[in-house]
Amino acid sequence: MFSIPAARLGLGYRYSAMKNLVDLIGVGAAKDMLFTARRIDAAEAISLGLVGRVCSPEALDSLLSEYTTALAVNAPLTMRAGKAIIAEILKPSPAVDVALCQDLIRGCFESEDYTEGRRAFIEKRSPVFTGK
């Protein structure tokens, strides 16, 4: 269950928290959650984009293991670049550092990890990335 109980408590949420919520689920859904203070279940949270995945309590360890393994085996330079570029996308247009984004992408293509990823694909094996 999820809720934003601010309206029931008479408190306000800071700008950055509200901006994150609006950016994540949209203006209408953010207003609905804030103004009604109603509780939403996991299914609605997924439909709003508030959460990415849900599972039963019994399946949590398995899902967590699957997710952390997926993160651990992927190319760290690609993940770093993706994280930074997404942060740039969220900035107002004039503040976006396009050169940084291009440098990050170039760094991926010039990396040993890219060579390893291509080689592993051709050899039909799992890549072993080093972050170089």
For 42-51, write each residue's pLDDT tens digit. Answer: 999 999 999 9
pLDDT of residue 72: 93
pLDDT digits (tens, 9 = 90+) for 3-29: 999 999 999 988 989 998 999 999 999
Give the pLDDT band of residue 40 (cuts 50, 70, 90): very high
Q: 63 lies in a domain?
A: no
pTM score, two decimals?
A: 0.70
Q: Are residues 78 and 117 in the same domain?
A: yes
Number of structural domains in the chain: 2
Per-residue tokens: 99: 């050169």
Q: Are residues 18 and 47 in the same domain?
A: yes
Question: Mean pLDDT, to the nearest integer, of 103-131?
Answer: 95
Q: 10 lies in a domain?
A: yes
Q: Is the pLDDT of residue 39 over 90?
A: yes
Closest by CA position to 4, among listed 42, 47, 27, 38: 38
Give the pLDDT band of residue 111 (cuts 50, 70, 90): very high
Q: Are residues 47 and 80 in the same domain?
A: no
Can you say whether the dihedral through the CA atoms of 62, 60, 63, 128 is positive or negative? negative
Q: Is the pLDDT of residue 92 over 90?
A: no
Please tell me whether residue 24 adopts helix, strand or coil conformation. Answer: helix
Q: 78 lies in a domain?
A: yes
pLDDT of residue 127: 94
Q: Are residues 115 and 79 in the same domain?
A: yes
Please identify which residue in the block is written with the tokens 């949420």. 13
Q: 127 lies in a domain?
A: no
Closest by CA position to 84, among listed 110, 108, 113: 108
Q: 62 lies in a domain?
A: no
Q: 84 lies in a domain?
A: yes
For residues 10 and 34, the answer to whether their CB atoms sit within 8 Å is no
Q: Is the pLDDT of residue 93 over 90?
A: no
Q: 132 lies in a domain?
A: no
Tell me the residue range of the domain where 115 lies.
Answer: 74-122
